[in-house]
Structure 1
Amino acid sequence: MQHGVRTSRSLPSTLLLLVLSSAVMAVLVWQALTAHGNPDPTAANLSPLAAIADTGILVFREGLEAILVLSALTASMVRSGQSYWKPVGAGAALAGLASLITWFVVVAVMGQINAPALHVQAATGLLAIVVLLIIMNWFFHKVYWTGWIGLHNRKKRELTEAPVLSPTTVYRGLALLGFTAVYREGFEIVLFLQSLRLRMGSGVVLEGVLIGLALTAMAAVITFLSHHKLPYKKMLILTGVMLGGVLLVMVGESVQECQQAGWLATTPLPLGLPAWLGTWFAVFPNLQGLLAQALAGALVIGSYFAAGRLQRSRRPAQAR
């Protein structure tokens, strides 16, 4: 009987995973089928739909991580009927507003930079790659499972179980936990999206952000209102694989921008690559771009296996 209950409860989570996966993949397939044109290695080639898909995937990915932390913080509070989850929610909402303000501040600061447009675009592209590599590193090294969530849970216990703290201090501390859980993700998104904003415009970025937020909201509703535990690990793996594709695209685009700005040489290769590879994956027949994309892929895959090897080496030491 209990097995049947668990099966019925896991059904909404499975259906949600299928819906979210189908929605993201539908965007990718739609873009791939409608992509056209003959990419010129001396011009920006990422199509608006590809930029929207990249933005949506990143926002959804970061939103899932924020939900994961908030869910770990508030699960025991909701089950016990405590009202401590309210300041956590208030802090998370404030972090969303702070992320929006940060966006306008960063845009204003970049608007004051007195440098050629191609140089600014190339620099923001490199910044986006750094941010994305950090995100991928958090994923593959499982810091969220051992460090970030654990830190928030320890701070929560210190606040809620300390008998000498005043209610105001507890409220502020929990609000700060909710704030940091969300604002870190928001800040990463703001930095990453500057490159796409300069190339594609704010309208395209806004569409991608709205798609990502809609998918995140679906996951949040199921988690916090229906109290279902989502298959976060599978969902993070799915979005992590997608982000691997986004990383390769960003590297290809950034190399192209650095070549336009005169920071990198261009060595054409007689490969005869199809046009859709440039439109969709930013893969162009030149040595610098292909080498950079290969190195980026090797770095991410290598970090995954290095983390696994490190984890296996720690197990015998812990068993002693």
Structure 2
Amino acid sequence: MSATPLATDGTARAESRTDSRWFYAWLVVVLGLLAFAVVAGWNAAGGTVDPTDAGRTLSRTTVVVNSAVLVLREGLECVLVLAAITAGLRGPAAGQRRPIAIGGGVALLLSVVTWFAAVWVIGAFGGTGLNVQAATGIPAILVLLVIMNWFFHDTYWTGWIKRHNRKKKGLLHADAGSPRLLLGLGLLGFSAVYREGFEIVLFLQSLRVGYGSSVVLEGVTLGLLFTTAAGIVTFVLHRKLPYKKLLIITFALLVLVLFVMVGEQVNEMQLAGWIGTSTFWDSPGWLGTWFSVFGNWETVIGQTVAVGAVVGSYVVAREVQVKGPQRRARRAAAGA
């Protein structure tokens, strides 16, 4: 007696779920092994810095984790944008994903070139002196503050995605396979990836100047591993990840990274003689090494202003986008 179509469909779905579970399991195992290899590389290079060692401001572990968080945060957004603009390219239109992938690959390579260009430019203006360390951190912190401010507004990810989707829809009106369509889709993928790559390069320069490329690249490797895992789940398994929750989690981590970066930046400016030091507390050395917490007013004020700007942005955005409209709706309902 032959199997019914319903039974056949049920068997196929069960086999698909089993295959997915095995794939997830192998993905976790491979990711864990690769992460272990990177961590083992830290120890092979001398391990993490002694928290009581005053020769460094931040510990090796702190620098690696900060680098990884920055890469993962931008990488998740890149995956989200690419997933959004390729979501409708299925069936006969599936081939149009290729120029987007090629554009993204070119952007990834150009991001690597941008890294070496940034290293060269910074080196040409003074090597690894304290003045260079202090100067490279300023634009990175400013951009990070701007991104965190945009985080609480639709223009940050939904607006960015909408712009890409509008460009995609406009391009798809062209004849399939036309040079204009292929070039446009390629540029779409390029812009989605290179924007994040450029920001990562900018963010990491201050850490690289202060602690060396090898330490920063360890964090970059970890961040790329987890970003690649998210990409595989999205584009190979075609599973929809809880992107918003992931972005919120990494955003919370970025607040801590911002706190550390601002403390480090103010400390470097003090060491370079740009600003004074008004000590009010003899803070333990390990606080400075792990969290850039120093017992002087300049550092405390800088960190408070930075975190206050982020929290204030959240309060204002929530008032404008949620609380305000809710109050107006209640008043309108009460007056009706």
In structure 1, distance between residues paired with 2:70 and 2:95: 32
Structure-2 separation of matches of 1:99 and 1:177: 16
For 2:178 and 2:328, the matched residues in 1 are separated by: 43
In the alignment, which residue of structure 1 is the partner of 2:7?
none
Distance of 1:141 and 1:277 partners within structure 2 = 34
1:153-210 per-residue CA deviation (whole Å, 9 max, x = no partner) reads 00000111345x8711000000000000000000001111111111111111111111
Deviation at 1:273, TM superposition (A): 3.4
Amino acid at match of 1:221: I
Q: Could you tell me how far apart the structure 1 residues matched to 2:329 and 2:199 are?
A: 34
Match status 1:56 vs 2:45? no
Q: Which residue of structure 2 aligns with residue 95 of structure 1?
A: 107
CA contact (8 A) 2:51 2:290 kept: no
- 1:175 paired with 2:182, answer no
In structure 2, C-alpha distance between the alignment counterparts of 1:230 and 1:183, rounded to whole Å: 22
The alignment status of 1:202 with 2:216, answered yes or no, reads no
**Cα offset, 1:223, TM superposition:** 0.2
The question of 1:46 aligning with 2:58 is answered yes
The answer on whether the counterparts of 2:103 and 2:190 sit within 8 Å (CA) in structure 1 is yes
Is 1:288 aligned to 2:302, yes or no?
Answer: no
Post-superposition Cα deviations, 1:18-37, rounded to whole Å, max 9, x if no partner, equal 999xx8xxx8xx99xx7643
Please tell me whether residue 215 in structure 1 is matched to residue 226 in structure 2.
Answer: yes
What is the alpha-carbon distance in structure 2 between the residues aligned to residue 314 and residue 151 of structure 1? 25
Q: Alignment partner of 1:52: what SS?
A: helix
Residue aligning to 2:240: 229
Look up the match of 1:110: 122
CA 261–242 in structure 1, closer or farther in 2 if over 3 Å, else same: same
Question: What value does the CA root-mean-square deviation take over the aligned residues?
Answer: 3.3
Q: Deviations over 1:231-282 (max 9, x none)?
A: 1011101100000000000000000000011111001113x53433212110
Which of the two has higher C-alpha Rg?
2
For residue 237 of structure 1, what is the amino acid of its counterpart? Answer: I
2:51 is matched with: 37
CA distance in 2, matches of 1:221, 1:306: 36
Q: In 1, distance between residues paired with 2:128 and 2:226?
A: 37
Give the match for residue 75 of structure 1: 87
Alignment deviations for residues 96-150 of structure 1 (CA, whole Å, 9 cap, x no partner) = 0111111111111112114881111100111221122123223222424431000
The TM-score, its normalising length taken from structure 1, stands at 0.84
Cα distance in 2 between the residues matched to 1:156 and 1:181: 12
CA 292–39 in structure 1, closer or farther in 2 if over 3 Å, else same = farther
Match of 1:309 in 2: 319
CA contact (8 A) 1:44 1:199 kept: no
2:317 maps to a residue whose letter is: A
Name 2:288's counterpart in structure 1.
278
2:127 is aligned with 1:127: no
Q: Aligned partners of 1:116, 1:206: CA distance in 2, in Å?
A: 17
Matched residue of 2:57: which SS? coil
Distance in 1 separating the partners of 2:127 and 2:329: 54
TM-score (norm 2): 0.81
Give the whole-Å Cα distance in 1 for the aligned partners of 2:265 and 2:209.
Answer: 12
Structure 1: gaps of 5 or more residues: none
Aligned with 1:155 (options 148, 167, 188): 167
Q: CA deviation at 1:307?
A: 1.1
1:238-257 → structure 2 map (5 Å cutoff): 238-257=249-268
Distance in 2 separating the partners of 1:218 and 1:242: 19
Query: CA separation in 2, counterparts of 1:95 and 1:316?
Result: 45
